[in-house]
Amino acid sequence: MATINYDSELRRAGANATSGWRRLRFFAQRYVLGTFGLAIMVTFVLTALFADLICRYSPLTVDSAHALAPPGWQHWMGTDSFGRDVWARIVHGARVSLAVGIGSTALGSSIGVVVGLTSGYLSGWVDLVFQRVTDILQALPLLVLALVMTAALGPSLPNVIIAIAIPLIPTVSRVIRANTLALRELPFVEAAKSIGMSEMRIALRHVLPNTLAPLIVLATAQLGSTILTEASLSFLGLGIPEPYPSWGRMLSESAAEYVRVAPWLVIFPGIAISLAVFGTNLFGDALRDILDPRQRG
Amino acid sequence: MTDAAMTGTPPLLEVTDLVKHYPVRSGILRRRAGIVHAVDGVSFSLGSGETLGLVGESGCGKSTVARSVLRLIEPTAGHIRLNGRDITHLGKSELRTHRRSMQIVFQDPFASLNPRMTAGDIVGEPLSVHGLASGRKQQARVAELFEQVGLRPDQMRNYPHQFSGGQRQRICIARALALGPSLIVCDEPVLVAHISHRVAVMYLGRIVEIADKTELFRNPRHPYTQALLASVPVADPKAKRLTPLVDGDVPSPVNPPPGCAFHTRCRYAMDRCRVERPVLVDAGASHQVACWLNEGTGREA
């Protein structure tokens, strides 16, 4: 009977490889879906970077003679009511949508982590103050809050990112706080205290890394909704100013009026958003497993 | 002159009248609804190189005593003296440097190791926190500690989940040993009594009997100690099961019974036990017991 030596099998597969490529290949084989997700994300980022090289048309050129043209050889994804090429607008829209999606999720999550960790770890009056402010933020609908923010700051890309990031803070900080409260009571935190570690170092070295799993899941899930929030802001005239394209706005401005006559105006931006969300979710799941030593075996 | 100076060498650890009360709050106004008497006046001392085992049912306050001694929780009252120095009210930074001389090994080897750190990092952490060793020197010291507790140095790269429960316990011990402490508290549920020099029996936050190990096993004086020893399982399937000497449950530490806390379950309870609280008195060479039965029985030293 053949015996399996797991150690040598794992080594051959590259589980313990220290060189980058072998290790990367091991992960790629083990997390096929995650790799697929990463591929989608990389494709989108490259699309956004090299937008000008990819399309024949400018996303802003109005051509009323070919308004609402269906997908075909000339315009792969058709044209909108002004005759602008949908493919070009989606490719250029990737810039805005990804910048808003990734930027605001990253910003909102980082602030949320800091707030949640401080609140949960220090507890006492710090926690009380942070949680009441969070209550107030959560009492307002996200969109209203974002609207007030952009109205105050003025519509521009950085401002839109900030406006969308702020409503994310309460959600993230609540999750991180709950996790921190539970972790704080575990013996390994007490052990860290008993070896004379400072509170700050305990929070960063022992508590924070253990809140990573829910954070990654939450952040990748938020990415999709931030892209859509940007759409709502644009629709209300407070997003990225016209005529620059973003997926969210392409979807929202055509959904009501043209969905029957020109469904491609809704379908293609919709696919782009779904793919971006799908890709980040797949990648986020794999990332969570890769970063957890218990899942690595 | 202090006691310590009179007896020559001061005890390593001296705990006097340690009390830890937890308030129970209820309602929206968070009014105090009661007090949990987790530890209610515990005193003992421990010499250098000596081991003292604290035994008792779960919830009797053993862990609370252990954590208070290490200042992981703040005692409500009482004094803790380590190496002759009162550490009960040491400030934050002073306490931090003082932690080098006292360490703890926790009960649960699964929850006391950070799952995201390698075993080597866990054991090396105390060294880097106190700036004792870093880099290669730290690695060498950690490898040494691994060998000392019976682990292979190549296991330093492994994560806690790759070890068995016993091995994890050894990682905890290696971490406690790293700083070379003079006091190690083991909050460990098994076999405590067998490796100790002296044993203290706790019931509802108080020490009811304290004696040398052999003396305690041969001559238990407190009815609770007798019941506890009778309940120790015997490793022989044919052995006759003894009828339990106590029944009922431990009373709530929120409202501990007046007088002797054990009187509700004691076979020998007298009227006096219900009103007056017995104190630890000598009952033989280095044997102390808190029970009225031992008064006037002619069994004093």
B91 touches chain A (CB under 8 A): no
Nearest-angstrom CA–CA distance, B123 and B38 = 32
- Report the SS3 class of residue A144: helix
Q: What does the pLDDT read at residue A189?
A: 93
Nearest-angstrom CA–CA distance, A95 and A84 = 17
Partner-chain residue, chosen from A190, A195, A198, that has the shortest CB–CB distance to B179: A195
Residues B18 and B126 in one domain: no
- Which residues of chain A make contact with B179, given a CB cutoff of 8 A? 195
The CATH number of the domain holding residue A206 is 1.10.3720.10
> Is the dihedral angle over the CA atoms A189, A190, A193, A194 positive or is it negative?
negative
Cβ neighbours of residue B105 closer than 8 Å, sequence gap 6 or more: B112, B169, B172, B173, B176, B184, B185, B186, B187, B188
Are the beta carbons of A195 and B129 separated by less than 8 Å? yes
Mean pLDDT to the nearest integer, B117-140: 92
Identify whether A20 is part of a domain: no
B161 touches chain A (CB under 8 A): yes
Partner-chain residue, chosen from A187, A198, A209, that has the shortest CB–CB distance to B111: A187
Q: What does the pLDDT read at residue A72?
A: 82
The answer to whether the CB of B164 falls within 8 A of the CB of B92 is no
Q: Please, which pLDDT band fits residue A253 given cuts at 50, 70 and 90?
A: confident
Are the beta carbons of A196 and B161 separated by less than 8 Å? no
With residue B82 as reference, give the H or E element that holds it.
Answer: strand B77-82
Identify whether A69 is part of a domain: yes
Identify whether A11 is part of a domain: no
Residues B199 and B173 in one domain: no
Whether B231 shows a pLDDT value over 60: the answer reads yes
Partner-chain residue, chosen from A187, A196, A201, that has the shortest CB–CB distance to B100: A196
Nearest-angstrom CA–CA distance, B91 and B29 = 32
The answer to whether the CB of B213 falls within 8 A of the CB of B197 is yes
Whether B124 shows a pLDDT value over 80: the answer reads yes
Are the beta carbons of A187 and B103 separated by less than 8 Å? no
Residues B8 and B152 in one domain: no
Domain end position, chosen among B186, B213, B233:
B186
Which residues lie across from A113 on neighbouring strands? none
The CATH number of the domain holding residue B287 is 3.40.50.300
Residues of chain A contacting B, Cβ within 8 Å: 186-188, 190-198, 201, 206, 209-210, 292-294, 296
Nearest chain B residue to A212 by CA: give it.
B116
Q: What does the pLDDT read at residue A251?
A: 83
Which residues lie across from B14 on neighbouring strands? B45, B81
- Which residues of chain A make contact with B96, given a CB cutoff of 8 A? 196, 198
B18 touches chain A (CB under 8 A): no
B128 touches chain A (CB under 8 A): no
With residue B210 as reference, give the H or E element that holds it.
Answer: strand B206-212
Strands B31-46 and B13-26: antiparallel
Identify whether A12 is part of a domain: no
* Higher-confidence position of A243 and A272: A272
- Which residues of chain A make contact with B125, given a CB cutoff of 8 A? 192, 195, 197
Q: Which of A194, A210, A296 to mutate to test the interface with B (most CBs of B within 10 A)?
A: A194
Q: Please, which pLDDT band fits residue B3 given cuts at 50, 70 and 90?
A: very low
Nearest-angstrom CA–CA distance, B181 and A196 = 12
The beta-strand segments (E) located in B162-205 are 183-186, 198-203
pLDDT digits (tens, 9 = 90+) for B258-273: 889 898 888 888 888 8
pLDDT digits (tens, 9 = 90+) for B235-261: 777 766 556 667 777 888 888 888 898
The average confidence (pLDDT) of chain A is 85
Identify whether B300 is part of a domain: no
B168 touches chain A (CB under 8 A): no
Quote the percentage of chain B above a pLDDT of 90.
Answer: 36
Q: Which of B102, B112, B128 to mutate to test the interface with A (most CBs of A within 10 A)?
A: B112
Q: Please, which pLDDT band fits residue B1 given cuts at 50, 70 and 90?
A: very low
- Which residues of chain B make contact with A198, given a CB cutoff of 8 A? 96
Q: What does the pLDDT read at residue B252?
A: 85
Mean pLDDT to the nearest integer, B296-301: 46
User: With DSSP H G I counted as helix, E B as strand and the rest as coil, what are the percentages for chain A, rounded to 5?
Assistant: 75, 0, 25
Nearest chain B residue to A207 by CA: give it.
B114
Residues B206 and B287 in one domain: yes
Q: Which of residues 207-266 of B touch A (CB under 8 A)?
A: none
Containing structural domain, residue A192 = 33-296
pLDDT digits (tens, 9 = 90+) for B85-108: 899 988 888 888 889 999 999 888
The model's pTM is 0.79
Mean pLDDT to the nearest integer, A23-36: 86
Q: Of B125, B101, B114, which is closest to residue B174 (Cα–Cα)?
A: B125
The average confidence (pLDDT) of chain B is 85
Q: What does the pLDDT read at residue B109?
A: 85
Backbone angles phi, psi at A168, to 5 degrees: -75, -25
Containing structural domain, residue B198 = 3-106+188-294
Nearest-angstrom CA–CA distance, A138 and A132 = 10
Please state, in angstroms and as integers, the Cα–Cα distance from residue B176 to each residue in A68, A175, B169, B170, B193, following that order: 74, 33, 11, 10, 21
Q: Please, which pLDDT band fits residue B153 given cuts at 50, 70 and 90?
A: very high
Domain end position, chosen among B186, B211, B236:
B186
Q: Of B121, B105, B124, B230, which is closest to residue B166 (Cα–Cα)?
A: B105
Q: What does the pLDDT read at residue B6?
A: 46
Partner-chain residue, chosen from B96, B100, B116, that has the shortest CB–CB distance to A210: B116
Q: What does the pLDDT read at residue A71?
A: 87
B68 touches chain A (CB under 8 A): no
Whether A11 shows a pLDDT value over 70: the answer reads no
Identify whether B299 is part of a domain: no
Quote the percentage of chain A above a pLDDT of 70.
Answer: 93
Identify whether B85 is part of a domain: yes
Q: Which of A179, A188, A208, A294 to mutate to test the interface with B (most CBs of B within 10 A)?
A: A188
Identify whether B111 is part of a domain: no
Q: Please, which pLDDT band fits residue A1 given cuts at 50, 70 and 90?
A: very low
Q: Of A64, A67, A59, which is closest to residue A88 (Cα–Cα)?
A: A59
Whether B183 shows a pLDDT value over 80: the answer reads yes
Q: What does the pLDDT read at residue B297?
A: 52
CA dihedral A153, A158, A163, A169 (to 10 degrees): -140
Nearest chain B residue to A209 by CA: give it.
B116
Mean pLDDT to the nearest integer, A11-16: 61
Q: What does the pLDDT read at residue B2?
A: 37
- Report the SS3 class of residue A75: coil
Whether B117 shows a pLDDT value over 90: the answer reads yes
**Cβ neighbours, 10 Å, residue A295:** 13
Nearest-angstrom CA–CA distance, A209 and B114 = 9
Domain end position, chosen among B161, B186, B211:
B186
Task: Enter the ipTM.
Answer: 0.81
Nearest chain A residue to B105 by CA: give it.
A191
User: Maximum CA pair distance of chain B?
Assistant: 68
Cβ neighbours of residue B134 closer than 8 Å, sequence gap 6 or more: B127, B128
Identify whether B113 is part of a domain: no
Cβ neighbours of residue B110 closer than 8 Å, sequence gap 6 or more: B160, B165, B168
pLDDT digits (tens, 9 = 90+) for A137-188: 888 877 788 888 888 888 788 988 998 898 889 999 999 999 999 999 899 9
Q: What does the pLDDT read at residue A227?
A: 82
- Which residues of chain A make contact with B67, given a CB cutoff of 8 A? 190
Residues B161 and B232 in one domain: no
Q: Tell me B10's DSSP state.
A: P
Q: Which of B116, B179, B185 to mutate to test the interface with A (most CBs of A within 10 A)?
A: B116
Identify whether A292 is part of a domain: yes
Question: How many independent structural domains does chain A possess?
Answer: 1
- Report the SS3 class of residue B209: strand
Identify whether A27 is part of a domain: no
Are the beta carbons of B159 and A210 separated by less than 8 Å? no
Q: Which of A186, A190, A195, A206 to mutate to test the interface with B (most CBs of B within 10 A)?
A: A195
Residues B91 and B224 in one domain: yes
- Report the SS3 class of residue B217: helix
Are the beta carbons of A187 and B106 separated by less than 8 Å? yes
Whether B301 shows a pLDDT value over 60: the answer reads no
* Cβ-based burial of A205 (10 A; exposed 0-12, middle 13-18, buried ≥19): middle
Question: How many independent structural domains does chain B possess?
Answer: 2
Q: What does the pLDDT read at residue A110?
A: 95
With residue A14 as reference, give the H or E element that holds it.
Answer: none
Which residues lie across from B136 on neighbouring strands? none
Are the beta carbons of A195 and B103 separated by less than 8 Å? yes
Report residue A198 as tokens: 């400072």
